[in-house]
Structure 1
Amino acid sequence: MNRLDHTLSALRRAGRSGLAAYFAAGDPDPEASLALLRGLPAAGADVIELGMPFSDPVADGPILQQANARALAGGQTLKRTLALVRALRETESRTPVVLMGYLNPILRHGVAAFARDAGEAGVDGLILVDLPLEHAGEIDRQLREHGMHLIRMSAPTSEDARLADTLRDAGGFVYHIMLAGTTGAELPDEDRIAQALAKVRAHTGLPVAAGFGVRTPAQARVVGRHADLVAVGTRLAEVLAERGVSGALEEVRLLAGALRQ
């Protein structure tokens, strides 16, 4: 069983929502990035979302754009991101890793080569925020051949017909963007979150992750009442920049603790 499937099944059996912690690979530098990744499981991250730095991260707000820029300035590439996963897998074999980013680096690497290399590195899933549904089939097929999931996305603006098409062959989980716009914006109220996730669940039996906008343990707890995974990225990148690896891991502990109460 894929590590992601195993973790999501375990969370469902435990009756709680999990934490998906996002960090950009190579931020603030390769050594610190690896130390951070190695510390995430013990800090309480159920899923690691590892950003593939890109020069034009159009879905990201200023904080994650800065994280991308720091990583790229330090020489981070897709190959080095996969090497980071391989290094993590030397000591951590159970926590799923989902790569998140943009289509362009995958195309430059080659879809088939990427699927092979990512699978060998120990990646469990892929989220591409700018992947058109019409072009998802080949990437999905290549990933499945190497035991990985292409994670599909939904948004508040997604209409039912589009959701049905998007989620028809989905695997792993569905990543729901809780707000229109870029990462780091203000979280919707709980009623709107509940309604949006219920709409997604009407089209799939897969677990649903909710991201974009969660900054505090209290907010994570609210979202966790309705989502199977709570994804946090902007706040963690902010703390990493301000307080380093130890501060970021402490923030993960606080968020994870809120979901275990």
Structure 2
Amino acid sequence: MTRIDDTFRRLREDGRKAFVAYIMAGDPDAETSLAVMRGMPEAGVDVIELGLPFTDPMADGPTIQRAGQRALAGGQTLTRTLDMVRAFREDDATTPIVLMGYYNPIYSRGVARFLEEATEAGIDGLIVVDLPPEEDDELCIPAQAAGLNFIRLATPTTDDRRLPKVLTNASGFVYYVSITGITGAAEAQAADVAPDVARIKAQTDLPVAVGFGIKTAAAAEAIAGVADGVVVGSAIVERIGRGDPPADVLAFVRELAEGSHRT
């Protein structure tokens, strides 16, 4: 059982929903992003999503694209991102960390080497948005053999014929993308999300966390009412991008976490 599995099990037993928070590694610099990351568990974050900056982030909206550009301009690399995880693990051995990004940096590293380094550093799961289920032999299956969860995305356009394929070999949780399009676009609506969450849960025992378009504590609370977890990224990254100090960013994260946990 991974830290992700254990966290969702514990929350379920406590009757609570998970709050998952995303930041970009190295944004706006390594020191600041590590400070925010270290403060997340105390602010109520149950699972940390750590973005791996990439030059061509096709699924990301302008806010996260700019975060990746800032990180890359500051010298953030896969090696430095793994070092950031190691530094976090010096003080926190329990909070799950999901590395989210694209396949190219992993492929360039070499899958076997990457998986060895990722598990050693303390990563618990992967979200690789440009590897479809048809490519599971490429990374998904080796990752699971190495003890990492491979978290799959489902979207409003994932119909009942496609969904079983998407769920095959998925683990940890299912990340339901609440809106069509890129990150940070429209606002998610619980009434629109609920039927698709129910449809997914009818075909898997995995928890379903909903992300994209959640920007306020009230929205987080509403989404938590229909899902097993809430994912917020762009709204947090936006505050980092405008130069808010880590304490202010974490205060906002706490508001979102409290909203997610009220349900």
- TM above 0.5, yes or no, is yes
1:184 Cα deviation from its structure 2 partner: 0.7
1:240 Cα deviation from its structure 2 partner: 1.4
Q: Deviations over 1:142-190 (max 9, x none)?
A: 2123211111110000011211011022211001111110001112432
Whether the 8 Å contact between 1:20 and 1:229 is mirrored in structure 2 is yes
After TM superposition, list the pairs within 5 Å mapping 1:1-261 onto structure 2: 1-242=1-242, 243-261=244-262
Whether the 8 Å contact between 2:188 and 2:212 is mirrored in structure 1 is no
Whether the 8 Å contact between 1:101 and 1:127 is mirrored in structure 2 is yes
Whole-angstrom CA distance in 1 between matches of 2:260 and 2:63: 24
Whole-angstrom CA distance in 1 between matches of 2:227 and 2:137: 26
Whole-angstrom CA distance in 1 between matches of 2:230 and 2:108: 31
1:17 Cα deviation from its structure 2 partner: 1.1
1:247 Cα deviation from its structure 2 partner: 1.4
Aligned amino acid, residue 76 of structure 1: Q
- Number of aligned residue pairs: 261
Aligned amino acid, residue 131 of structure 2: L
Whole-angstrom CA distance in 2 between matches of 1:241 and 1:57: 17
Aligned amino acid, residue 25 of structure 2: A
Q: Deviations over 1:33-89 (max 9, x none)?
A: 111111110011000000000011111111111100000000001111111101100
Whole-angstrom CA distance in 2 between matches of 1:88 and 1:42: 13
**Structure 2 unaligned residues grouped into runs of 5+:** none
Identity of aligned residues (%): 49
Whole-angstrom CA distance in 1 between matches of 2:229 and 2:112: 29
Q: Structure 1: which 4+ aligned runs deviate by more than 6 Å?
A: none
Whether the 8 Å contact between 2:133 and 2:168 is mirrored in structure 1 is no
**Structure 1 unaligned residues grouped into runs of 5+:** none
Whether the 8 Å contact between 1:240 and 1:247 is mirrored in structure 2 is no
Q: Deviations over 1:65-121 (max 9, x none)?
A: 110000000000111111110110011000000000111111111111111110000
Q: What SS is found at the alignment partner of 1:230?
A: strand
Whole-angstrom CA distance in 1 between matches of 2:16 and 2:186: 24
Aligned amino acid, residue 69 of structure 2: A
Whether the 8 Å contact between 2:40 and 2:250 is mirrored in structure 1 is yes
Provide the aligned C-alpha RMSD in A. 1.0
Whether the 8 Å contact between 1:220 and 1:230 is mirrored in structure 2 is yes
Q: TM-score, structure 2 length as denominator?
A: 0.97
Change (3 A) 1:189 1:37: closer
Whole-angstrom CA distance in 1 between matches of 2:188 and 2:51: 24
Q: TM-score, structure 1 length as denominator?
A: 0.97
